Amino acid sequence: MNHYPFWRYALLIAVLAVGAIYALPNIYPQEPALQISERRGGVIDESIETLVVAAISEKNLEVNSVKTSDKQIVLTFSESLARRKAAEIIREKLGDDYVVAFGLASTSPDWLSNLGAKPMYMGLDLRGGVHFLLQVDTASVETQNLDRVISELRAAFREENVRYRSIRRESGRVRVVFLNPAMKELGKSLLEIQFKDLILEHEEDDSFDLAAKEEAIKENIETALQQNLTTLRNRVNEFGVSEPVIQRQGASRVVVQLPGVEDTAQAKKILGATATLEFRMVFLDGDPRNAERSGRVPIGAKLLRERDGSPVLVEKRVLLTGKYVIDASSGLEQQSGSPAVFVTLDGKGARIFSKATRERIGKPMAVVYIEQREGRAIEEVINVATIRDQLSKRFQITGLGSTDEARILALLLRAGSLAAPMEIIQERTIGPSLGSENIRMGVQSTVLGMILVLIFMAFYYRGFGLIANAALLTNFVLIIALLSMLQATLTLPGIAGIVLTVGMAVDANVLIFQRVREELANGNSPKMSISAGYNKAFSTIADANVTTLIAAIVLFSFGTGPIKGFAVTLSLGILTSMFTAIMGTRAVVNLVY
């Protein structure tokens, strides 16, 4: 009646052993660490390790340990200040071929690491860092889409010999004016075949207005948001942040959390930048100063400014844009020693650029830097140079103000440009000291809650209470082990979930032990009472825990950041408490009684 087969005891011991091993790394402190990983062109080997250690030793910085693998080098330090100084030295020494990221390294023994036992991650609110909420400019997406439609309409009309006077954007629509009504009818026929995403709205004798369908607008915004998410992830990876959180929130917002980041100004500059390059030929048939004074720009030209304020006339036609860039690195130009960005194009971009420069040898070309600021595009000519030879896949850009500017431009080109401008509408900074305080208070609340529950169970249920207390401690260890095995991120709400689980973990035991007392009061034998207590309370325990588990799954599915952290620990706590309260305590009770 109250006897377990051997395999159940073996399973229980195996689960406890695995749980203890994978929870063990969390008792060892973590040290500030630097992670050096390769980028395009970089190689991780012993020579790089020797170079890094020598560079740090020259500055009298003490390194606790150095671990090198095929993919990265991890250096640990006693304090964060030494780590920050070492990062500056290493970045200057290795250049753009390597990513240097801040992180934390466990001091657990190697045998635990060999078993794959790692400590769980700490969230933003526990480690410190920055939290950004970014809003996508959906109006800009619609404007860009209309500009694309105008370009495609012009090309289609030109190909089909449809004569028109003008195609322009007006009040969120595209207005097309034709030479005559007959041409307008030809244009309408072409629209039905090639432009099915457009709606014909206001119509006159020789003109009509076009607007995008609602479905097309939603699809364009969705595409822009997904591309922005990808670009932000690339930028954060280039910036060198370990364990970032980048996720969508609602229809047009993105949450970015960067644990361990100390230079928040640099993070904002990189995340919010919507920068790209354009290569245009200099317009030679006009005087830029006359155009600036008179305000009359020649047909086919565009008036821009260089960094010193000098006006420049460039052709409206764009030879090449930054979307064809697959790699970019910063450095110094060999002859003058000035900051430069070395650019590599993909196959299509190389073919376009090769043909364009071959036909224009001896003519000046301008490099235009475009950046979105406060919802408007700022265009600036950063370099004007004469094409001396046919350019192809690799070339360099000079004329940059500083090495830092060259590094940021290279980063943005590597990561890609944002499909639509994004504005930071919420910013929150959590310092490492506040993170330590959160951890301390969270641990204290968990320990206090557990102690109070242990005292109550031991006082009220005596021997059964001691067994429940053992199950409660085991349950806590299993939760930590699962969080570590899943490499889940522990947040402050996650600690709240653990505290809640401490109370819920004994709920099943309370139901069982109370039922056993009732059976004893009815005159049943201890063995019969124990068997009835476990069997009859099981359905109630299962119902209560399943309904709570459903609520936790809903919280995880529809919640964000902190809510998900609470849902994860609550879900894991429910599963482990079911296991320890029903199977674990029953095994001990069977052995004792």
How is residue 492 written in tokens?
């402050």
CB 500 within 8 A of CB 570: yes
**pLDDT-derived band of residue 262, with 50, 70 and 90 as boundaries?**
low
Check residue 19 and give its pLDDT. 92
When pLDDT is averaged across residues 496-520 and rounded to a whole number, the result is 83
**pLDDT-derived band of residue 265, with 50, 70 and 90 as boundaries?**
low
When pLDDT is averaged across residues 198-205 and rounded to a whole number, the result is 80
Residue 38 CA from chain centroid, whole number: 19
Q: How many helices (H) and strands (E) does the chain have?
A: 18, 23
Pairing, β 253-259 against β 245-249 = antiparallel
**pLDDT-derived band of residue 215, with 50, 70 and 90 as boundaries?**
confident
Element spanning 91, H or E: helix 80-94
Its pTM stands at: 0.58
CB 311 within 8 A of CB 292: yes
Measured from the Cβ of residue 231, the count of other Cβ atoms closer than 10 Å reads 19
Please name the residues in contact with 537: beta carbons below 8 A apart, sequence gap of 6 or more. Answer: 508, 511, 512, 515
Check residue 14 and give its pLDDT. 93
CA-nearest of 110, 90, 82, 85 to 35 is 90
Amino acid at 328: A
- Low-confidence winner among 90-99, 156-165, 406-415, 446-455 (lowest mean pLDDT): 406-415
Asked if residue 487 has pLDDT above 70, the reply is: yes
- Low-confidence winner among 316-330, 461-475, 522-536 (lowest mean pLDDT): 316-330
CA-nearest of 196, 195, 144, 191 to 172 is 144
Element spanning 383, H or E: strand 376-386
Residue 446 CA from chain centroid, whole number: 30
Check residue 372 and give its pLDDT. 59
CB 259 within 8 A of CB 241: yes
Check residue 464 and give its pLDDT. 84
Residue 506: exposure state from Cβ atoms within 10 A (0-12, 13-18, ≥19) = buried
Check residue 138 and give its pLDDT. 79
Separation CA 72–CA 103 (nearest Å): 13
Q: Which residue has the higher pLDDT, 508 or 99?
A: 508
Q: Which residue has the higher pLDDT, 342 or 259?
A: 342
CA-nearest of 397, 327, 315, 396 to 356 is 315
pLDDT tens per residue across span 231-258: 777 767 666 565 677 888 877 888 888 7
CA-nearest of 418, 6, 48 to 235 is 418
When pLDDT is averaged across residues 88-94 and rounded to a whole number, the result is 83
Check residue 21 and give its pLDDT. 93
CA-nearest of 191, 207, 201 to 157 is 191
Amino acid at 474: T
pLDDT tens per residue across span 34-44: 878 775 456 77
Separation CA 43–CA 563 (nearest Å): 40
Q: What ranges make up the beta strands (E) of 288-362?
A: 301-305, 311-315, 320-321, 325-332, 339-345
Q: How far is CA 347 from CA 66, 322, 354, 392, 418, in A?
A: 40, 13, 10, 9, 22
CB 197 within 8 A of CB 148: no
Percent of the chain predicted with pLDDT > 90: 3
Q: What is the mean pLDDT of the chain?
A: 80
Helical ranges in 375-506 per DSSP H = 403-415, 432-485, 492-505
Q: Order the strands of the 164-170 sheet from edge to edge.
A: 164-170, 173-178, 207-212, 198-203
pLDDT tens per residue across span 266-315: 566 566 555 567 788 888 888 888 888 888 888 888 888 887 788 889 88
CA-nearest of 400, 575, 342, 368 to 478 is 575
When pLDDT is averaged across residues 184-213 and rounded to a whole number, the result is 81
Asked if residue 441 has pLDDT above 70, the reply is: yes
Measured from the Cβ of residue 432, the count of other Cβ atoms closer than 10 Å reads 16
When pLDDT is averaged across residues 174-189 and rounded to a whole number, the result is 84
**pLDDT-derived band of residue 22, with 50, 70 and 90 as boundaries?**
very high
Residue 192 CA from chain centroid, whole number: 41
Q: Which residue has the higher pLDDT, 78 or 100?
A: 78
Asked if residue 5 has pLDDT above 70, the reply is: yes
CA-nearest of 80, 50, 82, 56 to 68 is 50
Please name the residues in contact with 521: beta carbons below 8 A apart, sequence gap of 6 or more. Answer: none
When pLDDT is averaged across residues 501-513 and rounded to a whole number, the result is 81
288: Cα within 13 Å, side-chain hemisphere:
15
Measured from the Cβ of residue 41, the count of other Cβ atoms closer than 10 Å reads 12
Check residue 431 and give its pLDDT. 66
When pLDDT is averaged across residues 324-345 and rounded to a whole number, the result is 78
Check residue 96 and give its pLDDT. 63
CA-nearest of 565, 474, 571, 480 to 119 is 480
pLDDT tens per residue across span 346-396: 787 788 888 888 888 888 888 887 765 555 667 888 778 777 777 777 877
How is residue 540 written in tokens?
């109630």
How is residue 557 written in tokens?
């599915």
Asked if residue 18 has pLDDT above 70, the reply is: yes
Phi/psi for 65 (5° steps) reads -155, 155
- In the chain, % helix, strand, coil (3-state, to 5) comes to 55, 25, 20
Check residue 285 and give its pLDDT. 82
Q: Which residue has the higher pLDDT, 518 or 276?
A: 518
Separation CA 300–CA 148 (nearest Å): 19
Separation CA 121–CA 105 (nearest Å): 11
Asked if residue 537 has pLDDT above 60, the reply is: yes
**pLDDT-derived band of residue 127, with 50, 70 and 90 as boundaries?**
confident
Asked if residue 503 has pLDDT above 80, the reply is: no
